[in-house]
Amino acid sequence: MRLFALLAPLAVAALVAGGATAQQPKKAPAARDWSTHVVQAPSGAYLIGNPAAKVKLVEYISYSCGHCAEFIAESKLPLKDGYVRRGSVRIEVRHAVRDPIDMAAALLARCAGPQGFSGATDAIFADQRSWFRIGSQWWKTNEPALQSQPPLARLKAVAEASGLSPLMRGRGMTQARIDQCFANPADLDRLSAMAEASWKVIKGTPTFVVNGKTGGGGHWDTLEPELRAAGAR
């Protein structure tokens, strides 16, 4: 009896503790990372983020544009890793191609597919000073000799010589995939059509459209207030 009397309080305490554990609230599910939601629009533009986002941001960019490279670097943390990730902003990337090296870069970035496009774009812009300097000089020297080759062959050659293709190989893109990037004339025609349409409505890059209204001032520090005013959180 005495042993039972000693053990009884322990048993009651265990039941109470077990009950308390069972009643603990469940953890809330992790918030969705909308920056990984990437699809291609019928126009060929890439859409990054929540389709139901309150703020729709259109970016007209060129890979050979120095101001575009600055914008991408400045905005990545607050925009892609912030507003887009949380689902309040969706980005639509429209290419405004300015030169052959830019075209080669765009073909490679788009060739990375929906899940690889955003990362490829960031990498291309991050290394812009190197590949654009080398590629421009190479193109100036070799372009006359390339005139007899098809357009995609010329673009493939400058992509390799500039360092763009090696950059993509360093990110895991296979040579077979790179070959495909410069094999389909329909891909070049689609990108050319997008670029032509872009230059009909913009005067320079980068250009931003927030919920249908052109603005942003060409810089992140002037664009962000407009995004927040439109509902970005």
Q: How confident is the model at residue 139 (pLDDT cuts 50, 70, 90)?
A: very high
Neighbours of 127 (CB within 10 A): 15
* Structure-token pair, residue 105: 């870069």
CA distances in angstroms from 73 to 43, 48, 55, listed in the order given: 26, 17, 21
Rounded CA separation 136/134 (Å) = 6
pLDDT for position 30: 75
Span 110-130, average pLDDT: 97
Where helices occur in the chain by DSSP H, the ranges are 2-22, 66-75, 85-86, 100-111, 113-126, 128-146, 151-162, 164-170, 175-181, 185-199, 220-230
8 pLDDT exceeds 70? no
Q: How confident is the model at residue 42 (pLDDT cuts 50, 70, 90)?
A: very high
1 pLDDT exceeds 80? no
Neighbours of 187 (CB within 10 A): 18
Domain boundaries, the chain: 34-230
160 pLDDT exceeds 90? yes
213 pLDDT exceeds 80? yes
> Which residue, among 101, 97, 98, 109, has the nearest Cα to 131 in the 3D structure?
101
Q: How confident is the model at residue 28 (pLDDT cuts 50, 70, 90)?
A: low
* Structure-token pair, residue 12: 């009651």
Rounded CA separation 59/81 (Å) = 16
Q: Does domain 34-230 have CATH number 3.40.190.10?
A: no
Q: What is the pLDDT of residues 127-138, one digit of tens each?
A: 999 999 999 999
* Structure-token pair, residue 181: 């990037």
pLDDT for position 31: 87
Given a contact cutoff of 8 angstroms between Cβ atoms, the answer to whether 84 and 48 are in contact is yes
Q: What is the pTM of this model?
A: 0.86
